[in-house]
A and B are shown apart, each in its own frame.
Chain A
Amino acid sequence: MRENFSLASTFLVPESFNREWRRNRLFLYISRRLSISLLMLLIVSFAVYVIFAFLPFDPAALTCGKNCNDPGIIEANRHRLGYDLPFFTQYFLFLKGIFFGRTFGEGAALISCPAPSLGYSFQQHACVTNLIGEALPVTLSLAVGALFMWLALGVGLGILAARFRGGLTDRLSTVFVLVGTSLPTFLTGLLLLVFVVIKWKFIPFPEGNYVPFLENPFQWIQILFLPWLTLAFAYAALYTRFVRSSVIETSNEDYIRTARAKGLTESVILGKHTLRAALAPIVTMAGLDFAGLLGGAILTESVFNLPGLGRLAIKAVTDIDLPIIVATTLLAAFIVITMNLIVDILYAFIDPRVRVA
């Protein structure tokens, strides 16, 4: 459907009528996006399940370790874990488990994982949901901290570079952008570890394992500081470049020149006008990057030994722990889809032009 509501037309319609119309349009828009997202989630979950169900190895054979030369054991495991059921039944049971919980086995060895059950990992002897629940706060801490750092660094540097175009700050920011986008994160992490921790000893070896923020905030910061820096370095570069060009572009607009002529100071102009114009795309980018990071900052977690979702996922791949592999993939997809939805809705609030049918 073509866009028939241009910005101009909204001004032509009477105010009260316009507001109600806008609210209805917004509601329609949100509900449409929501239903599409749910559908997408369902399709993705099915696709993930299909992919991992039809792989050329036998999931039952992977559960029995060294005793696997006995076909009786493999068959017993297959039955106990439900791998002998038809495919659609398995998928349905999996979905059902998410809403109602699921049990495996029988008798004294009965395993019960309450809703939302994503399966049971026999290698780690725990319900997958619990494992994810323990790993999620770590990745969350990593992602949130990195988000703040890269926004501060990226946006700040971008503004400075635009403000002092051609100057030293600008050139430095260009170098920063280039190096940041050229270094793979695992190299950045390794180099930081080698120089900052080992050679120059600015920060001592994080001797402790990860602790939650509430338990020991100081150690929490110490452990996460370098990983934050690693991620911030890589992501900030993109924002610097974007903010810089966006600010420069907006600076040349007529209404900015008017504001300047009116006597407003540069910082006020920066804060009130130019940044606002760049706000929407920054929000979009940040939201999507954050979602991607939540899905598992695999490399950073590996280099810095953080027990987050990324490490959980990689270990599952090495152990070929199918329930965890399926669950983490689904979770990552869920986060991305949700974030897309949130960003789209936010965008709709910020920019009324977006509300196309």
Chain B
Amino acid sequence: MSTFPTMQPNQNAQLIATVGRSPRQLAWRRFRANKIAIPALVASLSFVLVAIFAPVIARIINVDPNARDGSAITDRGQTIGRFGGMSWDHPLGVEPGIGYDLLARLMYGTRISFLVAVISTLATVALGLLIGMVSGYYRGRVDAIFGRFTDFLLAFPSFFMIIALSAPMIQRIERSGVARDNGARILYLIIILVLFGWPYFSRIIRSQVLSLRERDYVIAARALGASNRRIILKELLPNLWTPVIVYVSLSLPGYLAAEAVFSYLGIGVQPPSATWGLIIADSTKYILSEPTYFFIPAVSLILVVLSFNLLGDAIRDALDPKSES
């Protein structure tokens, strides 16, 4: 009897508890194990929540993005009090020269930034998926044509063209009656970001599809006589969710930063609406005289982009453990 190794209770439990886990659950476990993943997730989610519930939060804290508080600035436009006029009325201070509450404007600014970023991302993904799948699956002529088109778009100095084309294109949109003022500007930004964004993603999808189409289940489906459309939608698409998720999590911060950059340069949403880029652009004039007014939006932007990047990295690690140590 004593020659048999006695089974300890936890070993026993472990034996019983060994159960198969789906890839999704494995990924989630790896995600949870990653120390920065959860904080990043929480931070990103809270930014999104702030964007959605900005008006509610503003009413609770009692700040208004359009209210000019003349009493918070001197006759010369400087903020009164330390740290850019921070007080209970103005938790993050006020904008010099005009007296807007900074916290309210930052909160409302996230709405526009996220609107642009989310719609652009979704559209880029949709377009990239479509063209990438078609290119990769059908190959041949179709692939060649789309490939040339992709190269062509990638050759354009997109950043500069976005700036150069903004004024006339926005005029065109307004004239066509589809949208006006800031609506037209947001529409322009989204269209142009998507236009220059999908080639890159479609290439990723295409290379994935190229390898996927040689898999057994696809060959089997084809042998069974399934139509091409069915194969694309039912066999390929569900297996593409990995690159899609990774791309979404990384392109969101990219588009957020892009929106800030374009507002900074004067394209995109115009005052008196508030976006982070506009606030940062204005604050660069006050770097020396009102440093708080510069640092708060700058740091906020960095935090948002950082948390989404961290989240994207964590997701990528969780889904594909071989890619990192």
Contacts and interface: CB of A to CB of B under 8 A. Distances in A.
Nearest to A322: B164
A313 B160 contact: yes
A6 interface: no
Prevailing SS type, chain A contact patch: helix
Given A187-B301, A317-B164, A336-B157, 9 more contacts: A40-B155, A44-B155, A57-B171, A178-B306, A187-B280, A190-B294, A295-B157, A329-B160, A340-B155
Interface stretch (B12-20, B111-119, B241-249, B257-265): B257-265
A123 interface: no
A166 B325 CA distance: 8
Nearest to B169: A55
Contacts of A56: 168, 171-172, 175
B323 A184 contact: no
A325 B260 CA distance: 23
B160 A296 contact: yes
B309 A178 contact: yes
11 contacts: A56-B175, A182-B257, A184-B260, A184-B301, A194-B291, A292-B157, A295-B157, A295-B159, A295-B160, A333-B156, A336-B154
A256 interface: no
Interface string B268-311: 00000000000010001001100100100010011001100110
A314 B301 contact: no
Interface string B142-167: 00000000011011110111011101
B280 A40 contact: no
B65 interface: no
B322 to A, nearest CB: 9
B325 A298 contact: no
A190 B160 contact: no
B253 interface: yes
B284 A190 contact: yes
Nearest to A181: B309
B157 A333 contact: yes
A284 interface: no
A132 interface: no
B324 to A, nearest CB: 7
B261 A296 contact: no
A194 B291 CA distance: 10
A337 interface: yes
Interface in A104-134: none
Interface residues of A, number: 42
A191 B152 contact: no
Contact of A190 (B257, B298, B305): B298
B164 A325 contact: yes
B160 A186 contact: no
Contacts of B168: 55-57
Interface string B85-129: 000000000000000000000000000000000000000000000
A43 B301 CA distance: 39
Contacts of A296: 157, 159-160
A179 interface: yes
Nearest to B254: A181
Interface in B165-209: 165, 167-168, 171-172, 175
A44 B156 contact: yes
A340 B280 CA distance: 35
A47 to B, nearest CB: 8
Nearest to A194: B287
A198 B289 CA distance: 12
A184 B257 contact: yes
Interface in A180-225: 181-184, 186-187, 190-191, 194, 198
A151 to B, nearest CB: 22
A184 B313 CA distance: 18
Residue of B154, B155, B172, B265 with highest tally of chain A CB at under 10 A: B155
B29 to A, nearest CB: 21
Contact of B298 (A166, A178, A187, A295): A187
Contacts of B257: 182, 184
A70 B323 CA distance: 67
Given A190-B298, A336-B155, A182 B305 contact: yes
B323 A179 contact: no
A198 B305 contact: no
